[in-house]
Amino acid sequence: MNQIKGFALSSVIVILIFVIAAFSAGTLAGLAGVWKKPFIGAFAAFCVVITGYITAPNHKQKAAALWLIVGAISAYFLAGDSFYPEDHEHAYQLTIIPLLATYLSGTLALLLCMLWHKKYSKQNEKTSN
């Protein structure tokens, strides 16, 4: 029962972090005057995967991978048709750049989680012996 509560709480935290990260990235990208969509997706994906890993009560690597998959599917539907911004030379033409930025950022976050887990596991083995 505690596992279910832990994963439920983790899910709530991940969703809250997603919303906060998306709004924060959009605000900062707007202030910087850059194309918002790739930055929002990339930052939100990175935060979701890292948060999913950190907040999972156990099976952290699997939880991070699951959040990457859930996020990738969600991003596909949330992004919809993406167009270059009006000040770009290819203005109003379809592009997959925001979706690619989201997928690459999420994958990078997952790789970091795997490396972090591997390093942390080795340190725990050394200290327990």
How do residues 38-47 score in pLDDT, each as one tens digit? 999 999 999 9
Whether 129 shows a pLDDT value over 60: the answer reads no
Two tokens, residue 34: 């850059």
Min mean pLDDT across 12-26, 68-82, 93-107, 111-125 is at: 111-125
In this structure, how many other beta carbons lie within 10 angstroms of the beta carbon of residue 77?
7
Which candidate, 122, 6, 107, places its Cα nearest to that of 56?
Answer: 6
More confidently predicted of 107 and 123: 107
Its pTM stands at 0.87
* Spatial distance between the Cα atoms of 53 and 66, rounded to a whole number of angstroms: 10
Number of independent structural domains in the chain: 1
% of residues, the chain, pLDDT over 70: 93
* Spatial distance between the Cα atoms of 120 and 127, rounded to a whole number of angstroms: 11
Whether 95 shows a pLDDT value over 90: the answer reads no
With cut-offs at 50, 70 and 90, classify the pLDDT of residue 103: very high
Q: Which domain holds residue 49?
A: 2-128
pLDDT at position 10 is: 95
Please provide the average confidence, as pLDDT, over all residues in the chain. 89
Two tokens, residue 118: 């591997």
Two tokens, residue 19: 């919303």
